[in-house]
Structure 1
Amino acid sequence: MVITGHKIQREWQIFLLALGFLTRIPVPADPCYSDEKLNGASRYFPLVGLLVAGVASVVFIVAQACFGNTIIAVLLSMAASILLTGAFHEDGFADSCDGFGGGWQPEDVLRIMKDSRIGTYGAAGLIMMLALKTSALYAASSTTALVSALLWGHIVSRWLSVSYLVDLNYVSGEGKSKPLATAMPLSHCLLAGLPLIPVLLFCELPALIPLLIALLTFRIGFAFYLRRRIGGYTGDALGMAQQVTEIIIYLSFLM
């Protein structure tokens, strides 16, 4: 297949749609916008994750050099990633905690998720999630291990979250957390994983087996849970999947 300048420009515009959706980085308006482009933006979510991981890593390294304190560097790194993304995934995680924790019937779960106010489950979940991230990153054996964890965490978690677009149905009823696309071909999902290749080149496969087993177990288990509880996925549920996957990866780097 011949890659023309027009195709490259089109893919760049689709990437900018993904960047503008997942971060607070201002992007130029697309003069040739279309729903087809919008539906294709999800395949660039892991690439945006690579950008977020890069910013978080640089902030950690600079803060560590300036203050000589690991916990401060970790907190500043996390703050930078949250500011960059506008706490987008954290918001979905909190809404999901409230919805799944406070609702029994699918319609109740969706109604609670749509409420912008944070409840007890959401607040408790956010505190525990941020504490686990901070503790896991602080316990990293070296700066190299921490940066590797950030790269894996931000890229793989977004790849796993968009994989639910392949085999689950989108459940309507949400507001701001509605995903860019509601379905994704398997080929696009595989393409979305390309940013992980440079990271894989510096890893030993046997060491990855426990992590891959843990991620696959969560992927299958959470898909089953979503089908049973609400009949599919929501944008907030994808945010929860991203955050939980990120924690699983950070914890796996301590084993």
Structure 2
Amino acid sequence: MDDLLRELRVATGFLTRLPVRWPDAAPADALARSMRVFPLVGAGIGLAAGLAWALALGLGTPHLVAALLALAAQALLTGALHEDGLADVADGFGGGRDRDRTLEIMRDSRIGSYGTLALVLSVGLRAAALAAIASPWAGVAALAAAGAVSRATCPALLAWLPPARTDGLGAGAGRAPSEALAVALGLAACFALLLLGLGHGLAALVLAALPAWALAGLARRRIGGHTGDVLGAAQQLAEVAVLCAAAAS
């Protein structure tokens, strides 16, 4: 139980802006080990966004506006951590001609046209998918499932790919233990099936895995492995996929 609570603190402190102090007794590989509970924290993030969505709908806000408000609340909670990764990957892979130049662009804090377009598409697709869900509580379930499933891509990519750099967030996180990966994937599957139902849940899992797998292959070819930005981009792609699956009739 102490280990679980420590991992929840580490995961919450990493994935959100909540004032959670890093545990004093945390081992060097604490972040990698905490990835088994990433889906739990992700579900909580999605639930918070879902409550903002349901509240906005309850006040009579149009569905699309409520969806954008929910995504804004989620971005505030996470500090737009994953959106930043998506923008950096889009700029780097779109504008870099070789590995060194791609990594240089990804490290640049400025955002370019590829990154801007990626963010517009990500927010637009997620908002449109959420707005297509008629029931407020179905939207809450979809956001919680998307939060859980999409955060399971982080330990998966860490297991599939070597770090592209010797420094940075991706390299510093370490490799998630096989047990942590198995637990994370299991939790993601449970959340998807329980919250979305068998059909939509299976579709969400498949649709989330496909872009994460494709991005992993692209990252291996372009830069030789993963970075923190690649992990963030994978989360965003998976979240879009899950919400689109949930919105499908």
TM-score (norm 2): 0.90
Residue matched to 1:27: 20
Q: What's the CA shift string for 1:93-142, capped at 9, x where partnerless? A: 11111110110211111110001111111112111211111111111132
Correspondent of 1:193 among 178, 185, 206: 185
Determine if the alignment matches structure 1 residue 205 to structure 2 residue 198: yes
Residue matched to 1:254: 247
**Do the aligned partners of 2:209 and 2:238 also contact (CA within 8 Å) in 1?**
no
Counting aligned pairs with the same residue, the percent is 36
Distance in 1 separating the partners of 2:173 and 2:61? 43
Correspondent of 1:223 among 216, 221, 235: 216
Q: What's the CA shift string for 1:139-193, capped at 9, x where partnerless? A: 1132233222212211101102321111210111664x54662212222111123
CA drift at 1:85:
0.2
**Do the aligned partners of 1:111 and 1:173 also contact (CA within 8 Å) in 2?**
no
Residue matched to 2:165: 172
CA drift at 1:211:
3.5
CA drift at 1:80:
0.8
State the secondary structure of the residue aligned to 1:33: coil
The one-letter code of the counterpart of 2:178 is: L
CA drift at 1:222:
2.1
Q: Which region of structure 1 is more displaced relative to structure 2, 26-35 or 97-106?
A: 26-35
Residue matched to 1:56: 49
**Do the aligned partners of 1:171 and 1:231 also contact (CA within 8 Å) in 2?**
yes
CA drift at 1:202:
5.1
Correspondent of 1:99 among 85, 92, 99: 92
Aligned ranges for residues 1-255 of structure 1 at < 5 Å? 8-172=1-165, 175=168, 177-178=169-170, 181-196=173-188, 197-201=190-194, 203-255=196-248
The one-letter code of the counterpart of 1:164 is: L
What count of residue pairs does the alignment treat as equivalent?
A: 247
The one-letter code of the counterpart of 1:171 is: A
**Do the aligned partners of 2:15 and 2:81 also contact (CA within 8 Å) in 1?**
yes
Change (3 A) 1:218 1:198: closer
Distance in 1 separating the partners of 2:119 and 2:192? 28
CA drift at 1:71:
2.4
Change (3 A) 1:202 1:84: closer
Change (3 A) 1:25 1:180: farther
TM-score (norm 1): 0.88
Distance in 1 separating the partners of 2:213 and 2:71? 28
Structure 2 unmatched ranges of 5 or more: none
